[in-house]
Amino acid sequence: MSDAEGTVKLETAGFDARFPNTNQTKHCWQNYVDYFKCVNARGEDFEPCKQFYKAYHSLCPNEWISKWDEQREEGTNPSNFNV
């Protein structure tokens, strides 16, 4: 794909000192929760929220994201997404 057609730049989530271990499960979950808290507080167009989105999509398996999305929509997700 050339630059004229448009390219997609893939990036992984950067280092987060809160999660220094190699197991990134908690890092994945926290970015998922932080994204929806940010969106609820500031809206989807708020640029800093997009960093959380990129991070959890980089770290979390798609199956987890799908499950959490379903739980969130049903109101059964254990996290509080309100600020």
Q: What is the mean pLDDT of residues 70-74?
A: 90
Indicate the fold that domain 24-74 takes in CATH.
Arc Repressor Mutant, subunit A (1.10.10)
pTM for this model (two decimals): 0.72
pLDDT at 18: 74
pLDDT digits (tens, 9 = 90+) for 37-65: 999 999 988 999 999 999 999 999 999 99
Q: Is residue 1 predicted with pLDDT exceeding 50?
A: no
**Reported confidence tier of residue 77, pLDDT bands at 50, 70, 90:** confident
The token duo for 75 is: 């109101």
3-state secondary structure 22-77: CCCHHHHHHHHHHHHHHHHHHCCCCHHHHHHHHHHHHHCCHHHHHHHHHHHHHCCC
Name 52's Cβ contacts closer than 8 Å, sequence gap at least 6: 31, 32, 34, 35, 38
Q: What is the mean pLDDT of residues 5-26?
A: 74
Q: What is the mean pLDDT of the chain?
A: 84
